[in-house]
Chain A
Amino acid sequence: MASQDHSNDRSQDRSRAGPIAMAPVAALLVVGFLVPLVLVAWLSLMPERTFGLDAGLTGANYVTAVRDGYVVPLGWSLAFAAATTAICLLVSWPMAKVLARRGSAFALTVTILVALPIFVSESVRLFGTSLFLMPRGGILAGSVNALFGIQIGSILYTKTATLVGLVYVYLPFALFPMILGLAQVPRDQVDAARDLGASGWQVLREVELPNAMPGLLIGGLLVFVLAFGANTEANVLGGQSVAVITKSIDQRFSYAQDWPLGSALTILVAAITAAVVFPVLARIDLDRLLRR
């Protein structure tokens, strides 16, 4: 009997251990995420250009958001996010396939090289890219001119440059989950598929993609969400060529001093993000990916 009581105690300890371990993160999320989000949501329902939270509820800001053409920057942000996600996934796939074969020194070196830029500030890297892409005296154009005597143009301050920057910055976020995902593809299943007559494409579709899907989806989501909320790439590399929604939000809060409209735009971005993330997340078996 005594030992049974003891084990009962322990299982109760364990059931208490969960909430206790979660408490610090939970507190942080409530203070840093939930409260601000509720505040912003509330503020978005205030009349325009008010700063108080008690001016009476209205949906006018959302009407303004649509009527004043904020759909355009929203659309650009979505387009950039979608394109960045697609390119990152496509570029990562072959590389992840090589790196997922664990154990080689080559794989480790490449992984470190890919991860290294993450430790350098994003702005610093983007200004570096900007220098690289400068016309005439820029690193790329200047070198080509000096070496081959050819004058080339520049993509700096275009939408293309923005996209290049987004892909460059967010590629690791697609790559690493994808490596995790591809490590889940059983080697013998690939062999079996080949043995049963599958071509390379069929192996990809029937065995590799389904098995690697959790990693693929997580990587895709990370890139999409980060790129959708990105601002610096468009600012530094896109110049005046494109306005993304985060820039509009920034302007509403700062120059325009219209917090309620800025909040409404923020809520729109959050709603779209949620509409993309939650359905995808529901399909991912996280336990499997983390090998639990």
Chain B
Amino acid sequence: MSDRSGPGVAPATSASAARTADGGEPALSLVGVTRVFGGSRAVDAVDLEIREGEFFTIVGPSGSGKSTLLRMLAGLDRPSAGDILLRGRRVNDVPANARPTAMVFQSLALFDHMSVGDNIAFALKMRGVARLERMERARALLDVVHLPAAYIDKPVTQCSGGERQRVALARALASDPEILFFDEPLSAIDNRLRKLLQVEIKELHRRTGKTFVYITHALEEAMVMSDRVALMRAGRIVQVAPPLEIYDRPTSRFVAEFMGEVNVWRAVREAGAVTLPELGLAFPSETIPAPEGFLVARPEKLALLREGGAAPATIAGTIVDEFVLGSRKQIHLRPDGAGESARERPTVFGEIPADAAAPGPGARVRLGLAFADCRFVTE
């Protein structure tokens, strides 16, 4: 990742490549979509284009309006303003039961009074498909979601958590929707099962070629599964990009910090240099596109310097904490400094190899940083 370019420079990215690769009409377009509850704007003037066949994930903390947005896309709620276009057709007033979309609910919302088969075949029953044919399709879908065919007559209440997830998935697929919506369906299950189902959903996406719109508060989940990710905050979309781009080139502190532990320092442009007042650091003969802002640096960009090693900028300090991540470990560094200013200095996050020789808590180390490895954001 070190070959990525420096702050403020936007090279040709996979995002623009993808944009030109798919010239067709977007599966879903949102134009100024707003939803007001009482006095608050749960969703605030969202513009978005979701492409045909894309795995698109909307990530945000709870209360950011992502579920409200998804409910409007599914037709379970109506926007207060703005338009939702499904393949170019305005669907604001088309109710959920008339939209060619299906949703996997956070609660799964399985019909507890029905069997697994009747749950899966529900959409077909609503269309008046004969029972034998419905059950035939349900059996095929059981196979798709890796459930045994014998489950077809099992009461859905007797299924385990993971099985219920799969039934919900099969039920949404049964209507052969053009777009599938997922409202944090994996948030309530244990980690191992979640990883497994993530892989299966991703594989399902590849196999069906349908458009998937997925909602989660876990960025990690979004990173693993998505073609593109939209970050949402307080009803607004703050950045839309492929996962790697979100990771490498966040456009704001919020995005950078949402991605996990990251260094954010106040940066000031001065004559012929960029200074970081909090650390007492300066990058000579560098510049930033605004008088003031923030430099964002991922922990892995801070390299451990050997005795006598050099870097454009060095931060010396004492390791106060460490977290092993496998072959590498994250260290929390208290930068050197005397008197009052020492207290204001932020903890610096670095990442170093976790071998036996690596320094641990209490050790004094120097970390090196290149300006090109930092990302400048104004807010």
Contacts and interface: CB of A to CB of B under 8 A. Distances in A.
Nearest to A198: B126
A197 B122 CA distance: 9
Contacts of A206: 111, 122, 125-126
A186 B114 CA distance: 14
Given A197-B127, A202-B126, A188 B105 contact: yes
B75 interface: yes
Given A188-B105, A211-B113, A193 B122 contact: yes
Contacts of B97: 194-199
Interface residues of A, number: 17
A198 to B, nearest CB: 5
A188 B107 CA distance: 8
A191 B105 contact: yes
B172 to A, nearest CB: 8
B28 interface: no
A36 interface: no
A270 B125 CA distance: 42
Contacts of A284: none
A120 to B, nearest CB: 39
A220 B21 CA distance: 63
A191 B76 CA distance: 7
A219 B102 CA distance: 36
Interface in A203-243: 206-207, 210-211
B93 to A, nearest CB: 14
Contacts of B127: 197
Interface in B94-148: 95-98, 101-103, 105, 107, 109-113, 122-123, 125-127
A198 B128 CA distance: 11
Given A195-B96, A196-B102, A196-B175, A210 B123 contact: no
Q: How large is the interface on B (under 10, 10 to 19, 20 to 34, 35 or more residues)?
A: 20 to 34
A195 B74 contact: yes
B210 to A, nearest CB: 15
A50 interface: no
Contacts of A194: 75-76, 95-97
Interface string B75-98: 110000000000000000001111
A29 interface: no
Given A188-B105, A202-B126, A206-B122, A195 B76 contact: yes
B76 A207 contact: no
A254 to B, nearest CB: 50
A195 B112 CA distance: 17
A195 B74 CA distance: 7
Contacts of A197: 97-98, 123, 126-127, 175
A193 B109 CA distance: 9
Contacts of A186: 107, 109
Which of A197, A199, A202 has its CB near the most chain B CB atoms (within 10 A)?
Answer: A197
A72 interface: no
A196 B101 contact: no
Contacts of A188: 105, 107, 109
Nearest to A190: B109
A185 to B, nearest CB: 11
A92 B122 CA distance: 28
Which of A191, A199, A211 has its CB near the most chain B CB atoms (within 10 A)?
Answer: A191
B329 interface: no
A35 interface: no
Given A188-B107, A191-B76, A191-B105, A196 B171 contact: yes
A193 to B, nearest CB: 7
Contacts of B171: 192, 196
B126 A195 contact: no
A206 B118 CA distance: 11
Contacts of B175: 196-197
Which of A188, A192, A199, A202 has its CB near the most chain B CB atoms (within 10 A)?
Answer: A192
5 contacts: A186-B107, A189-B109, A194-B96, A195-B97, A196-B97
Given A192-B103, A196-B172, A198-B122, 16 more contacts: A188-B105, A188-B107, A189-B110, A189-B112, A191-B109, A192-B105, A194-B95, A195-B76, A196-B97, A196-B175, A197-B97, A197-B123, A197-B175, A198-B126, A206-B125, A207-B111
Nearest 8 pairs of A and B residues by beta carbon: A188-B109, A192-B109, A196-B123, A197-B126, A194-B96, A210-B113, A195-B96, A197-B97
